[in-house]
Amino acid sequence: MPRALSRRSVRDGGPQAVRSASSERAAYHRLVIEGLPGAEFVARGIEDLSRAVASQEALLVSIGAARLRRIGLQIPEPLSSAEDRLYALLALSDPDSAHSRYNALIRRLVSFERSAECAAP
């Protein structure tokens, strides 16, 4: 039986083929995502999350992490209480406009998510 499995895995490409398909999918997502609205926020957020930096972008990606993963993006561990933390961060610089800026960032995230879902194969 193990011999048959090894033949099958060789015939099907085995683990190497799985890694190759995974990296091709990641490359495809990078190409498609670059032109979408809000892509710069998401890219910066993913980068900041990977370094555990609690930036506006990282908090925004944390808010949308589940949906972004369903789209196929590899998202690092999201920050906890991202919604509250993002609002508090925005309120630090200008409390009077924090609510409208928070809503604008959320709209930008949702716009990106919807566009990425439409662009996904």
* pLDDT band with cut points at 50, 70 and 90 for residue 118: confident
Q: pTM of the full predicted structure?
A: 0.74
Q: How far from 67 is each of 1, 30, 49, 100, CA to CA, in Å?
A: 40, 16, 16, 23
pLDDT tens-digit profile of 63-101? 999 999 998 899 999 999 999 999 999 999 999 999 999
Confirm if 71 and 64 have CB atoms less than 8 A apart.
no
Question: Tokens 């949308």 appear where?
Answer: 64
